Amino acid sequence: MPRVNFVSVTKKFGKVVALDGVSFAVSDGQYLCVLGPTGSGKTTLLKLLAGLLKPDEGTIYFDGKPVNNVEAQDRNAAYVPQQYSLFPHLTVIQNVAFGPLAKGKPASIALEAASAALDLVRLSWRAQALPNELSGGMQQRVALARGLASGAGLLLLDEPLGALDARLRLDLRHKLRDLVKQSGFTAIHVTHDQDEAMSVGDEIMILRNGKLQDYGPQRRVYRKPASIFVANMIGGASFLEGIVDTTVGETALINLRGGLTIQAPSKNLTLTAPVILALRKERIRISRDRLEMDNVFKGEIRGVRFLGNSKEYLIRISNGDIIASRQFAESEDDVFKVGQEVLVGFLESDALVFDYPAEGLRKELEVV
């Protein structure tokens, strides 16, 4: 039986629909990461799970039992808010021991649990400090320890790394995952940062405007995203407009603007249907002279972006479309310059084809 079952839950605030018929399940010990832009309903989802909000429609089950009418303090789901989570007037150890004490455990047991949690996050040496004496990263670790010490079993993390510097986030996200996994807790972690979402979760869920867009293991969501929005949110891609021309067995020929044609998998495609092609940046090869791939085009480098461990090239092909290619860990011979004429190519299997979105491509890609 799943640890958490969220069934057709809807939540409204006046006219605004924060969550619209969302359903999903999380098994015991799983680490689910919920990814979505600001305003997509992520915090509402966590608060519904925590019992701080009540659903307007739908039911939430914990271990098979409906908890819609169970108060927050009786749910055993520790909520770690994005900001202002630590009690400013209590010391670190008092903060961490708060949960067990609140549940009526004797002081000695509570202290034991608190010390163990602090050890786990390696902050025992700061047990007597007040929250405002700690750095941002340390505060987050204390907040995590507090959640772990509560004995809740379900951890609800609201942008736990949001307030931290980029470089610190890079370090802590792996440590956070390790800690949670070590503790055996079930965790639901909400974020707007796709790199974070890919790194920490076992599974990933994409929310947009209160609706569930996709849900599954990272690999599947990345390789076979359910929609253009998901493809853009996770990993990013180049998007080209086209029309399905013919199908030959398992291959379809799709016409792009300006007379160019692309080979793509023909599964589920209707002839003459307008489509969008999504091309993952790392799947695009660039070469000076030869390329042996299913789809090859001539193009010109229009832009180069240095991203540290990789470079992103923007190549304009003959019909004016721009394709982005991400080259990882370049060697000397891979360096290209703006204005250079190159060949771009990708495999048929790497062309992700989607129906042309009803509201247009621009709206579909809007991250609002």
Partner 1 sequence: MGFPARFLLILERFSAKTGVTKGVYSIAIIFFILIVITPAIAGIVVQLFSLPSLALSPDIAKRMEAAVQWSFVIGLVVSTLDVLGGIPLAWLIVRGRGQWTTILDSLADIPFIVPTVALGFSILEFWSSPVGISQLFGSTSIVSPGVILIMLLHFAFSFPVIVRVMVGEFLNYRESYEVAARTLGASPLTAVRTVTIPILRPGILAAFLLALARSLSETGATIVVAGAFENGTVFINNARVSGLTSAVVIASLIMIVSSLAVFGLIKIITPRIRILPLKVWPNLERKLSKPPVVATRNAITLIAFLVFVLLPCLFLAFPAIQAAAGGTAIEAFAGVGPWKAFWSSMFLSYVIATLATIVNIVSGLPVAILIARKKFGTRMAKVVDALVDLPIIVPSLALGVSLNFFWRTMGTLPEFVVILLAHITITYSYFVRTMAASIQGIAPELEDAAKTLGAQPLRVFRKITLPLTKYSLLSGAILVFTRSVDETGATSAVAVNLKTAPILLVSWIRGTVAVTPAERALGVGFLVATSFLALVILRLIATRASAKKVA
Partner 2 sequence: MPTLDLIGVSKNYGNIQALTDISLHVENKEYVCILGPSGCGKSTLIRCVAGINKPDSGGILIDGESVEQIPIEDRRIGYVFQDIALFPHMSVRDNISYGLAVRHAESTEITTVTNEMLDLINMRDRSKAYPRELSGGAQQKLAVGRAIATGSHLFLLDEPLGALDAIVRAELRYELRKLASDLGLTVIHVTHDQEEALSIADTVIVMKSGRIVEVGKPSEIYASPKNLFTANFVGETNLLEGKLLETDGSQCTVDIKGHRFKVSGFGKKVGQRVIVSIRPEYILLTPPTVVGWNGEIKQVTFLGNLNRYVVEVEGGLEMIAEVSTAEYSTGFRVGESVMVSFDDVHMLLFDYPAEGLEKEISLE
- Where do contacts with partner 1 occur on this chain (CB under 8 A)? 47, 50-52, 71-85, 87-90, 94, 98-100, 102-104, 106, 146-147, 150, 152, 156
What is the Cα–Cα distance from 36 to 46, expressed in whole angstroms?
13
If the CB atoms of residues 152 and 286 are measured against partner 1, the closer one turns out to be: 152
What contacts 24+ positions apart, CB below 8 Å, involve 307-316? 312/281, 313/286, 315/284, 315/286, 315/342, 315/344
Cross-strand partners of 10: 57
Which of 8, 23, 38, 251: binder of partner 2 (CB under 8 A)?
A: 38
Report what 235 binds from partner 2, partner 1, none; CB cut-off 5-8 Å by kind. Answer: partner 2
What is the Cα–Cα distance from 281 to 323, expressed in whole angstroms?
8
Report what 42 binds from partner 2, partner 1, none; CB cut-off 5-8 Å by kind. Answer: none
Nearest distance in Å: CB 17, partner 1: 19
Report what 50 binds from partner 1, partner 2, none; CB cut-off 5-8 Å by kind. Answer: partner 1
By CB under 8 A, is residue 282 in contact with partner 2?
Answer: yes
Tokens of 176: 């956070």
Tokens of 267: 């599964």
If the CB atoms of residues 75 and 141 are measured against partner 2, the closer one turns out to be: 141
By CB under 8 A, is residue 16 in contact with partner 2?
Answer: no
By CB under 8 A, is residue 333 in contact with partner 2?
Answer: no
What's phi and psi for 96, nearest 5 deg? -65, -35
Q: Which SS3 state, helix, strand or coil, does residue 321 take?
A: coil
Cross-strand partners of 35: 191, 206
Nearest distance in Å: CB 87, partner 1: 6
* Stretch binding partner 2 (CB under 8 A), from 11-19, 145-153, 188-196, 246-254: 188-196
Interacting residues toward partner 2 by CB under 8 A: 37-38, 135-138, 165-168, 170-171, 174, 192-196, 198-199, 218-219, 222, 232-236, 280-283, 285, 305-310, 326, 328-329, 367-368
